[in-house]
Amino acid sequence: MMHSSSFDEFYPEGGLNTASYDLRADLDRKIFEDPIPFYTRLAKNLASDGGCVLELGCGTGRISSAIADLGIPVEGLDLSSAMLDQARAKYPDLTWHQGNMCDFELGRQFDLVIIPFRGLQEVTDANDQRRSLERAFAHLKPGGMIALDLMDPDLRYCLPEGDLESVELPLFPMPEGVGRPGSRLRITAMERINNPLTQRFDEHWRFEEIDSDGTVIRVEDGWHQLRWVHRSEMRLMLEVSGFVSISEFSDFQGNPPKYATNQVWMAKRPD
């Protein structure tokens, strides 16, 4: 089962990683395809007439808030207390739940359940990934839909030797209320360790607060675990979980599946 300890270690309370999450996500949206229009469009189509949406792995609440801006009721669930603290501070009028997407019960059903930003891959055990889908199914109304996105693995980078090279992201301004005035944030993706047997990779990330003169003031290191999922495996997990009308795409525009791009999935709970 996905335990809170690993999440708390990577998303620590008051940590540079947690504070800078939205900055990195915005960079991701500029470099790659922005998923927010896809999920807001789905919410508008499926839940705008008195329906409601549940976001699993809601993080700091960026997608839930975009859906709420359309006037659609939305609730978010996340395992990390530090991330939920940010969501509650930024969007106090929305409903946030702390819980494990593998094992939760909210006592109600939704028209749409979404797991954006590769959230299912944060669940690093295959059985737990299936259990997450089963819990999503249980929280859907008959005829309701699930939508999620994943990275489609490029198997050249999933070999046992991993990757020892590091990649430094552009310098970020320090998030508001964090660090010294005028300091900046340097984020480096360090080495990656792969386990092809479990389809899991562990990424080493370093977060450094840099003073205006280049002095490193503060350093935080963390390990981020993800599990890659093959398309055929994902389809089977959806089928075993009870979903029907399963559709898969390579992007948020509805293009056909393509190797080593993205996996975007939509599926229904039977009427």
The single-letter DSSP state of residue 174 is: P
Per-residue buried b or exposed e for 33-66, using 16+ beta carbons within 10 Å of the residue's own CB: eebbebbbebbeebbeeebbbbbbbbbbbbbbbb
Q: Whats the size of the chain, residue-wise?
A: 271
Question: Distance (Å, rounded) from C-alpha 133 to C-alpha 35?
Answer: 20
Confidence of residue 23 (pLDDT cuts 50, 70, 90): confident
Instruction: Provide the sign of the torsion angle of the four alpha carbons 172, 151, 245, 270, taken in this order.
Output: negative
pLDDT (0 to 100) of residue 180: 87
pLDDT (0 to 100) of residue 6: 53
Confidence of residue 271 (pLDDT cuts 50, 70, 90): very high
pLDDT (0 to 100) of residue 8: 55
Residue 193: φ, ψ to 5°:
-110, 130
Please check whether residue 64 is in contact with residue 87, taking contact to mean a CB–CB distance below 8 angstroms: yes
Please check whether residue 252 is in contact with residue 258, taking contact to mean a CB–CB distance below 8 angstroms: no
Q: Which amino acid would we find at residue 251? A: D
Residue 3 vs residue 54, higher pLDDT: 54
Q: Which CATH class is domain 4-152+229-268?
A: alpha beta
pLDDT tens-digit series, residues 77-128: 999 999 999 999 999 999 999 999 999 999 999 999 999 999 999 999 999 9
pLDDT tens-digit series, residues 123-165: 999 999 999 999 999 999 999 999 999 999 999 999 999 999 9
Across the chain, mean pLDDT equals 93
Domain ranges within the chain, ordered by starting residue? 4-152+229-268, 155-227
Question: Distance (Å, rounded) from C-alpha 223 to C-alpha 234?
Answer: 25
Strands (E) in the chain, as ranges, are 53-56, 74-78, 95-98, 110-115, 140-151, 167-168, 172-173, 184-195, 200-210, 216-227, 244-249, 262-268
pLDDT (0 to 100) of residue 26: 84
Compute the average pLDDT of residues 153-181. Answer: 90
Q: Who's near 51: CB < 8 A, 6+ residues apart?
A: 72, 73, 110, 111, 112
Confidence of residue 177 (pLDDT cuts 50, 70, 90): confident
For the chain, give the percent of residues with pLDDT over 70.
Answer: 97
Closest CA to 206 of 23, 58, 15: 15
1 pLDDT more than 60? no
* Start-end of H helices in the chain: 4-10, 16-19, 21-31, 36-47, 62-68, 81-90, 126-138, 231-240
